[in-house]
Structures are given as C-alpha cells and as structure tokens.
Amino acid sequence: MNTSDQLEGQFLPARFVIVSWTDFLEKGRTFRYTIVAVALSIFISLIISNVNKIKAPYIGYRSFLEPTFWLRLRFMFEARVMVEDGYRKFRDSMFVVRRMDTDMLIISNKYIEELRTIPHSKLGAIDALQKNMGKFTTTEIALDGDLHIRVLQAKLTPNLGKISDIIQDEADFGIETEVPKSEEWTEINIEGILQRLIARITARVFVGLPVCRDEEWLTASIDYTLNVFMTAFILRRFPTILHPLLARVLPTWYRLHRNLRVAKKIIYPMIQDHLEKGAAGESGKEQPTLLNWMVDIASGNERVPAKLVSRQMILTIASINTTTMGLAHAIYDLCAHPEYLAPIREEIAEVLAQDQGIKKETLPKLRKMDSLLRESQRFGPPSIISFQRVAKVPITLSDGTFLPRGTHLACAASSLQHDPTIVPNPEVFDPFRWERKRLSAESEINKHRFVMTDKNNLNWGHGRDACPGRFFASTEMKMILVRLLMGWEFKFKEGEGRPRNFMLDDNIFLDSSARVLIRKRKAGEQSV
C-alpha cells in the first residue's frame, strides 16, 4: 500500500464528521433521536449558562443578546480566535471559554509552577483527559491506574538507546514499503504515508515482529485513533445524560469496538506466551517490546489481559496521531521555506559521516533538525491549549485565587508561543531560532530542545504530567526525517502554498486533502 489514491482521505476529521453524521441520520428513527438531543442540548445549555462558578470574565460573546448555546457552537470552529482574544485581554490573570460540554478556565502561565506541584488527588491531569474523551470511547481505563504512563517513563524512555537499531530497522522497512521510488515528480498524500510509517514503527516497539507488519493490526491501530476521537467529538455536542443512548447509534462507536476486538484477538495470545516464557525462565530471550514490559511491571488487576489491551490501544492514540501531524507540519514548512533544506541536509551529512551511519548518539547532534521540529510545532501544535487539569477538590492558590471543585482549567499554550514578549518576532517562521539560543547560552544548552518543557512552552505539557512519550516521538521523527530529506526531494504543486490547518474545538488538524510532489534524489545527491 503505497499509492496516494489508497491513502486519500484516511485522516480528515472534518470530512469524517460529515460522513459519520450522514451514516447516523440515515438510520431512520435515529433522526428523531437527533432532534430530541439537540432540543435537550439547547434547553440544558440555557439552564446552566447563568451558573457562574468561576469568578473570571467570559470570552467570545458577540453581544449581550447572543445565546450561550450559539457561543458554544461557535467555539467548535472559532476556538483559536476566542482564546487569543482572551489572552490579549487577560494574559496575566484568567478568563473562561465555553466549549459545548464545559466551561474551561484559561489561566495565566504564572500559575503553572504552583499548579504542577499540586498532587493528583487534588488536581487531575488524567481526569481532564478523560473528561475530553468521555465515558463511551473505551479510554476510561486511563482512570484505573497509571500503568501505561509508568511503562513509558520507566522502560521505554530509558531504553531508547538500546532499541534505536530496532526503530531504525522498521523505519527503513516502512520507507522502502510506503514511499514512491520514482525519480520523476510524483503527487502523494504525505500525511497518509507518514501515518503508516509511524504506525509501523510504533507497532514494532509496542508489539514487535511479526505483528508490526500485520495489515490487520496496522489498520486497527490507525482506525482506533480516528474512531475514538470522532466518537468523543460527536458526543461532546450533547448533554452527558444522552450519551448512553447516542453512543450506541454512532457508527464510530461500533467501529472502535471492532478495532478493540481485533486488538484483543492479536494481543491475548502474545500476553499468554510472554507469561509462559516468564514462568519457564525464558523471558530474557524475547525481543524487547512495550507489551512485554507492561506485563512485567503490572500488578494486581493491571495484569488482566483486557485491561492490558486497552492500555496498549490508548498509547497508540498519541503515538500515531500527534507524531504524524508533527512530521507532516515539518515537511509542509520545509516545502514552504525550501531555503532551509540545504543547511539541514549539510548538518545531516556531516553527522552521519562522523558517526558512520545512524547510531544512538547521532540524533542529539542534529541541532538544526531539532530546532526545526520545535519551530514547526510552535506554528502547528496538536492543540491551542495545554496543561489541562480538573480540580477534584476546592483549591485556593497562594495569591488567593479560588478554584471550585470541578473546575476544568488549561493554559493558552499556542498564544504563549506567539507572544512577542516570550518569542521575538513570533510571526516569522525561523527554524533555527532554537539552535541559536542553545549556542548562545551554554548553561541552558538543553532548555531549548524540542522535547523540553517550561511554563512558556507547554505544547508537551509540563511537570510530572508532561507527555511521557515525547522522547520516543522525537526519535521516530528524526529517524524518518533523516531518511526522507537525504533520499527525496519535496515541493508543493505549482501555484500552491502551505496547506491550511483546521480547527475542531481546541484541536488543530491538517488538511488531509493536501498533496505534495516528491521525487527520489538522483545519484550523487543521496547521502543515505
């Protein structure tokens, strides 16, 4: 599977919403359920709209006559405008935006360092994630312990150096399988190709050979991500009291459960095999995989096979989706600014010559590439907000700010990264700005790396709840970019520029109808 036609439209949320709702409404009597659900949504929104639990200004109303229900609907496509408007007016305090399912308190980043020290028993990051996903997406296992986080922190990240050859091998296989080899310009859906590359590498590390090359597994893992998101997105339009009914008439709900059944069919025997080898003292002979590590460190109910499978699938959501988008953003940005290709290729060639190929110590030396990825993420983050938390108890901060129990808070991460007092000339795409910062401040050489976080850079989150898989994602992205940039040329079609991004609530998505032109670099141009 390596043609653009096969990959067309594989991940376009806006298009998928239309398709899903068309399927939904064609189910006859479910049309009546929809009318009732919309009416109840409006009614409940009107009831709760005047309940002000948070003492902060509400942002987004066009006039005092605008119904709150309409404001909540507009947030779906105008979230960026609303959040940026609130940030300009209240950057040092806080304000409230009204999403369809909740009022969200957007806080100043001056509170970040204090908030990140508050224990999970009082302020929950997983609770916010689950609130976004809802109870009918099979992701609620995340609330039942942190095994999936522990395995990333304690096993995957510390072992990245040891498994770098495995990652590289699967990247090589995936590129050989998925990327066109013609020396003539060929039109492709780069997002679809990258999605499959990331799915292959993720599967190689998570479940190993031969499953990582099983089309049934690859399809299930890719589709599960899409179906979970779309189920959550659609249900968010309606009151939670209706979710048990509505979920069961959504095509995406049935599809994600089908994806989960496929995963169970494949993973159950692998878990049993690993347990038997462990009992026989043969586990050390197996290939290292995230699944095996997860089984090894699980305890009590965490070892229930169904729960292990669910956690595996949860990890695929972030592993495939956000990593794919990050890579696609970087390639689009290079196509839009081709003058930066030569210096990046020169750095790659120099480092590869020094190390005689890609080794575990090679990637940290690619500072220009690291800076490119961070700058690209600044313009194309997965969400315009980050550091989402839910107050599980009433909280009073050191300056007297009171957060009622149930407050859903977040920080305007994208606005921070476009604030000229934080990032000079923020409107300019400057892929080497972070490399220059690293070179100019030796004492802070690691502060400006792609994977680092602080109160001004929250795209990965911050503190102990920062994305635990970001080091793995960075490794994947750099290995793929090395091969693609040294082996292929990329450009937009004549007269076309960088594809625009789409907003759905606070999430940012690529335009998957976009195409780029690609050709194999000719003899004498290739370095790998």
In the chain, what is the straight-line distance between the N-terminal and C-terminal CA atoms, in Å? 23
Residue 425 contacts residue 418 (beta carbons within 8 Å): no
Residues 6+ apart with CB under 8 A from 155: 290, 293, 297
Residue 171 contacts residue 252 (beta carbons within 8 Å): no
Task: Give the 3-state secondary structure of residue 456.
Answer: coil
Task: Give the 3-state secondary structure of residue 440.
Answer: helix
**The CA-based dihedral angle spanning residues 382, 384, 385, 387, taken in that order and rounded to the nearest 10 degrees:** 40
CA distances, 372 to each of 388, 410, 414 (Å):
26, 26, 17
Residue matched to tokens 């009151």: 239
Q: Which spans in 147-250 are helix H?
A: 147-151, 164-178, 190-206, 215-235, 243-247
**How many Cβ atoms from other residues are within 10 Å of residue 387's Cβ?**
26
Please give the structure tokens belonging to residue 123.
């302020």
The two beta strands, 408-411 and 102-107, are parallel
DSSP 310: H
Give Rg (Cα) of the chain. Answer: 23
Nearest residue to 312 (alpha-carbon basis) of 224, 211, 206? 206
Q: What's the rounded Cα separation, in Å, for the pair 208 and 270?
A: 10
467 annotated as a binding-site residue: yes
Encoded amino acid at 83, one letter: V
Residues 6+ apart with CB under 8 A from 71: 60, 61, 98
Please give the structure tokens belonging to residue 518.
């690609």
Residue 236 contacts residue 101 (beta carbons within 8 Å): yes
Cis peptide bond N-terminal to 210, omega within 30: yes
Please give the structure tokens belonging to residue 234.
């659609």
Task: Give the 3-state secondary structure of residue 299.
Answer: coil
For the chain, the 3-state helix, strand and coil shares in percent, each to the nearest 5, are 55, 10, 35
Residues 6+ apart with CB under 8 A from 54: 96, 103, 105, 403, 404, 407
Annotated binding site for heme: 467
Annotated binding site: 467
